[in-house]
Structures are given as C-alpha cells and as structure tokens.
Structure 1
Amino acid sequence: MSIAKKILADNCDAISCKKCAYMLEISVNQQFGDLFLSSPCNRELPSAKNLFMAKSLYRSALDKLNLSDWRSCYSTSEEAGAKQVISREKSVSSRTINLLEMK
C-alpha cells in the first residue's frame, strides 16, 4: 500500500481527471485504514495507535469527498462511497471508545 500511495503521489499530475485522482486517493486511504484495523499483529483488539491511524486515513478520505470542486459532480456511486467511508470512520470511533473504556 505504501508503494501504491507513492506511485499515486508521484504521478498525480499525469491524471488529467481530478475526479479520478480523488477517487484513487480515497480508495488508497480507505485500503490503508482497513489494513491498520486488520493488521495480522492485532488478533484481538487493534491498538490505540492503529485505531488513530485508521481514523486519520478515513478522515482524509472524507475530506477529499467534501472538497468544494468535487461536490458539484457527485453521482450515486460517489455518494455510496462517501457513506461507506463515514460508516468505517464511525466504526473506528466506537472501537476507540471501547478500547479506552477497557483500560
């Protein structure tokens, strides 16, 4: 995933469609967030650090979806994607609260 993120950053100017570039960035951030939550090292509960990283990545994806030049061209698939990111972020928030309550 780190390589995918680097390739995307290095070649962002080569993508002429801003909407396509945003979708790629959003997808990479979602995938990265998912990896932090399901790391093989975390058989039981993810660490607070991994939860924080996952939430930060999901927040970054949401921020991309909320850009003003993006809103004017929402379609059903982008709205579904936004709902998915929001759902993931809420899940991470509730896990963080549960983890903190357990300590």
Structure 2
Amino acid sequence: MTKLDAWLKSGEYLPHILRDFHDQKDVFKAMHETINVEEHDYSKKVDWITGQCYVIDVFLWFMARRGYTLQRSRAKQEFVSLSETLRKSEDRHMAALKAMFERESP
C-alpha cells in the first residue's frame, strides 16, 4: 500500500466532522432537511443517503487522490454555524420521535 493509499484509507483527507460515518449521516440529513431539494430539478431525485455516499465515497475521495481537500473557509464572513444546524436537526428528529410515541401510547 502506498503512502497516498494509506492516507485515503484513513479518511484524514476529510474534515473532522465528516470522518465518522454517523457524523456524516447527521450532516447529510440536516443538509437535506435545510435545503428545499424538491425545488431543484436535479437534487429532488437524490435522497440524503445517495448524496452522502456519492460525496464522501466518490467525489471527495477522487479529489483527495488528486491533492484537493475540503476545508473550512478563511473568508471573513458571518457563516451559519454547522453545529447549530446539526443541533436543530436533531431537535426536530427527537420531537418527531416523541410525538410518534405519544400517539402510540394507550
């Protein structure tokens, strides 16, 4: 195995938030909920699972093999907080789950 292959296999080319599969799921589910994909002709046909697999396993891997990695912008902007977006998404999921259990209770 080459040094490059080992680096790619380790996942170190990914931002920390995307190195863990479960964290990836959270990001892609939140993105799919936050962006109205139904209004985009091309993205309304892509569920969050397919998007996650393509972006992580195909696109970012392909680009990293060629020396490009995704990284946080250094631009002086007031960016939307990813951690806050993920927290709000988790809160929505938990509220929906709670409501489901309350409906099912005798």
> Which TM-score applies when normalising by structure 1?
0.35
Kindly name which structure, 1 or 2, has the bigger radius of gyration based on alpha carbons. Answer: 2
Higher RCO structure, 1 or 2 (CA under 8 Å, sep 6+): 2
Which of the two has greater helix per residue?
1
